[in-house]
Structure 1
Amino acid sequence: MGAGRQIRLNAFEMNAVGHIAHGLWRHPRDRATSYTDIGWWQDLARCLERGLFDGLFLADVSGIYDVYKGGPETAIAHAMQVPVNDPAMLVPAMAAVTRHLGFGITANLSQEPPYLFARRMSTLDHLTRGRIAWNIVTGFLDSAARGAGQGAQMDHDARYDRADEYMELVYKLWEASWDDDAVVRDRVAGIYARPDRVRAIHHHGRFFDLDAIHLSEPSPQRTPVLFQAGASARGLAFAATHAECIFIPTTGRGSAATLTARIRAAVAAAGRHPRDVKIFASLMTVIGRTEAEAREKFEDYGRYAAAEAGLAQLAAATGIDFARFAPDEPIVVTGEAGNGIRSLVAQLGAGDDGPPTVNRLLAGMTLGGRFKPVVGTPEQVADEIAAWIAEADIDGFNLIRTVTPDCFADVADLLVPVLQERGLYKHGYGDGTLRDRLFGQGPRPAPGHPAAALRQPATPSTPAAEDRP
């Protein structure tokens, strides 16, 4: 790891009972069923800020997992990301009790009209004073498409074609509709904003038509920090163009290093600096003060895990109904998964033990999901984290919840001090917006990013009469 380079940590959560470690909501110490209580989220935000987490990253889906066994029954019974509430609604309440914690929300651009979505993100950026990020997803659930009045999801690559135009449009709204000096708040002259510094956006494309002025005045970051997780060839091209933070599959340090190198090369090919992108892997930890305590905690958690729910989630993500296979029958991947998450489909190829089977998949879901936890003392977990950073050239982790809030409190109170002692983690928050703290280059997207190209040039004007009497 290069000198001065520090690990970034996000808590990986969801406004739902179940997220990835399915079944653990039943654990006596788990409080996930409090997800409808705003006080629960405020307590969690305080815990994360105590641990100097960079952000709380909120996943989301707008449909139900209904591929497994041909229906939603497994998802509903196990609270497998259903019921699920809107993640954006949580942010202002958590921002009110924190000063530095960032907030990343997932929003599906296949179902969000760009004009109103741009306003929502500007509003959140204002209310958080520049601490908002957007995880860009194009969707993969046919149930979500049906809920939006569509028969099924668009073709995988066509979704990204539409997404490219969507991004162009929201960049225009955020960056080009209002000049930096448009808002003067001149109480004497009775002018809040100068009309000559505000313009309508005229966009007529393949997927969208818009003639409108952005409804919000410029927020601290204008364009939110942009997260994306595309790992297919088309998804990687999209991410290299637009993303500032990229999630990668956690399939081992060697394969992660290969993918990271591909990502940085793709970012450079898109005309951006390779380090203008932070790369995050997912990490699940079970931490104990001793190795024996950690192992005992892991075994305790495992008694509540619902591996079948994890299998049902994988079925929806890949488009493969695993219930059609006998327990030890080789799972053959076919074209049925064409509009699923292609990187996950690719991971189902034959391994050292041969082709995957249902029993092998279930055996790997020790905590109700497909992620293998790192179990150990704070020192042992810190060793693993340092190895990932050094060998895979990633920048940080999304920490997956297990039993919550214990899992995040253990990171804040046990792991972070060890990382700090080793010089791998910050001792305090920096100043500025979320983008400032992640990249140290100001609140706006870096030069070379497509949003930066849409900024309006500075115009000569008299000094702003900011709130003058």
Structure 2
Amino acid sequence: MSLHAQRRGAPSQPLILNAFSMNSVGHINHGLWTHPRDTSAQYNTLAYWQDLARELERGLFDGLFLADIVGVYDTYQQSAEVTLRESIQLPINDPTLVVPAMAAVTQHLGFGVTVNLSYEQPYLLARRFSTLDHLTQGRIGWNVVTGYLDSAARAMGQVQQLAHDARYDRADEFMEVVYKLWEGSWQEGAVVRDRQARVFARPDLVRPVRHHGQYFQVEGYHLSEPSVQRTPILFQAGSSGRGLRFAARHAECVFMSVQDKAATAALVRELRQEVVRAGRRPEDVKVLVGLTPVVAATERQAQEKYQEYCRYASAEAGLAHIAATAGVDFAQFQRDTPLLAQHKSNGIENSIKRLANGRENYTLGDLLDELALGGRYETVVGSPAQIVDAMQSWVDEAGVDGFNIARTVVPESYTDFIDLVVPELQNRGLHKTAYAQGSLRHKLFGQGDYLQRPHVAARCRCSQPLSAEAAAAA
């Protein structure tokens, strides 16, 4: 029996629920910063983030997933004009820096933070995430991305990005280095804090990492003592063949942005097959999809709220966002232009074909209609029961484990979800009624704080102390 069939017949179990946001004004559903009740323009204040964290913890959300980019969207109209005018993920601040402030006012909420490793060095990134894991008491996750914007490459002094598969080859080696630092440099028991003996850390239980590879040359001790999780929870969002192989080897949670259930189900099956090929169990990876709910007490009220939101949203801003993802300037087309007939680029095939959902004559006008709320994730409008029905259908038909809930009007959309949808989810056994104790990894998987075998990172964990001769040499 397939894992998908087993899930369909299984009793309800709690979903993973993350709020999906960005350290910016606009994120997925563009233009809504103009709504009079929206506060996202206050993104550059600590109060904004701390208030959001408290609210999400009130709703027993598993985490706040913070996306990030290090370039700008300048494909549409071959400029950043619309991006700047509509604040399409620009300006954008560093997502890691707001995490400690949110951790200080919460006890359980996790934090998944996107960092593009294409422009990082593993030695310093390892310290950054160890620091965050310490300060959050084991509630940090890393969304591992390799980037897709040429504007980011140019800003970092490169003519263009590495080729797609080469980026993943470099990423594989990057992960090898950080695993060695997080898992292999400091053994268990290395930190003793013995005042009487004047020994903070035992030298025989700490060793330098020596890595000499194609992309990285690293020799040195990990600068941080072991944190609660050692390796942060690992998120990933690649859906290409090479991206799925990378996810199967490294990821614990995979975010899929395909908006068709059948296509998502096929991708989930392919991912889990790759996970098995990588020597892991299918259940070692949780799958999340994006969802934009608009909820009210009744369907009629929800529809009225949706129409109100649409009056402030910007379909053009959503189009400019997708243009950068697809690598195609949609400003050159008319509303009745069939998009799939124009280009056979990977961008069109991967970004538009999924939205077209089998419609060969899918036009620019069809795409703009899909972007009525300014964003590309499935929008579900209705009463609490209707929202949960839609979520349940994704679980049953696509085999997913949870959702990244995209924001519309902030904080209203999350407050509505918490007050109206969460109780319905709890009534159906689909959402927890209290947090479990422990780290983010233990909350999600129930198997302790550390990555377990057969994950490749666990193989880097040292179990034997250095000999006296080796310790002296080190």
Q: After TM superposition, what 4+ stretches of structure 1 lie above 6 angstroms from structure 2?
A: 333-336
Q: Verify: 1:344 aligned to 2:362, yes or no.
A: no
Range that drifts further, 323-332 or 267-276: 323-332
Q: The residue matched to 1:222 in structure 2 has which SS?
A: coil
Range that drifts further, 416-425 or 435-444: 416-425
Q: The residue matched to 1:284 in structure 2 has which SS?
A: strand
CA distance in 2, matches of 1:283, 1:4: 19
CA distance in 1, matches of 2:353, 2:225: 44
Shift of 1:326: 2.6
Q: Verify: 1:361 aligned to 2:367, yes or no.
A: yes
CA distance in 2, matches of 1:236, 1:460: 37
What residue identity is the alignment partner of 1:343?
Answer: N
CA distance in 2, matches of 1:341, 1:187: 63
Q: Deviations over 1:29-83 (max 9, x none)?
A: 1000010110111000000000000000000000100011111111001000000
CA contact (8 A) 1:294 1:376 kept: yes
Q: CA 1:333/1:444 → structure 2, altered by over 3 Å: closer, same or farther?
A: farther
Q: Deviations over 1:300-328 (max 9, x none)?
A: 00001111111111010111111122322
CA contact (8 A) 1:32 1:404 kept: yes
CA contact (8 A) 1:401 1:408 kept: yes
CA contact (8 A) 1:366 1:372 kept: no
Q: Equivalences for 1:13-162 in 2 at 5 Å?
A: 13-162=21-170
Shift of 1:263: 1.1
Range that drifts further, 370-379 or 323-332: 323-332
CA distance in 2, matches of 1:133, 1:371: 23
CA distance in 2, matches of 1:337, 1:118: 36
Q: CA 1:450/1:68 → structure 2, altered by over 3 Å: closer, same or farther?
A: same
What residue identity is the alignment partner of 2:402?
Answer: G
CA distance in 1, matches of 2:356, 2:100: 43
Aligned counterpart, 1:402: 408
Shift of 1:341: 9.2
Q: The residue matched to 2:224 in structure 1 has which SS?
A: coil
Q: The residue matched to 1:254 in structure 2 has which SS?
A: helix
CA distance in 2, matches of 1:243, 1:390: 23
Q: CA 1:5/1:139 → structure 2, altered by over 3 Å: closer, same or farther?
A: same
Aligned counterpart, 2:426: 420
CA contact (8 A) 1:248 1:282 kept: yes
CA contact (8 A) 2:204 2:465 kept: no
Range that drifts further, 246-255 or 175-184: 246-255
Q: CA 1:139/1:446 → structure 2, altered by over 3 Å: closer, same or farther?
A: same
Q: May I ask how many residue pairs the two structures share in their alignment?
A: 459
Shift of 1:4: 5.8
Shift of 1:122: 0.2
Q: CA 1:5/1:160 → structure 2, altered by over 3 Å: closer, same or farther?
A: same
Q: Deviations over 1:1-47 (max 9, x none)?
A: 52362111000000000001000000011000010110111000000
- Which structure dedicates a bigger proportion of its chain to helix? 2
Aligned counterpart, 2:260: 252
Shift of 1:347: 2.5
CA contact (8 A) 2:13 2:429 kept: no
CA distance in 2, matches of 1:273, 1:459: 30
Aligned counterpart, 1:435: 441
Shift of 1:413: 1.2
CA distance in 2, matches of 1:326, 1:341: 16
Range that drifts further, 254-263 or 210-219: 254-263
Shift of 1:330: 2.2
Shift of 1:220: 0.4
- Equivalent position to 1:209, from 199, 202, 217: 217
> Which TM-score applies when normalising by structure 1?
0.95
Q: Deviations over 1:346-377 (max 9, x none)?
A: 5366833x333221211110101122310001
- Equivalent position to 2:381, from 362, 375, 378: 375
Q: The residue matched to 1:125 in structure 2 has which SS?
A: helix
Shift of 1:332: 4.3
* Identity between Structure 1 and Structure 2 (%): 54
> Which TM-score applies when normalising by structure 2?
0.94
CA distance in 2, matches of 1:341, 1:330: 12
Structure 2 segments unaligned to the other structure (5+ residues): 1-6, 468-474
- Equivalent position to 1:176, from 165, 174, 184: 184
CA contact (8 A) 1:276 1:446 kept: no
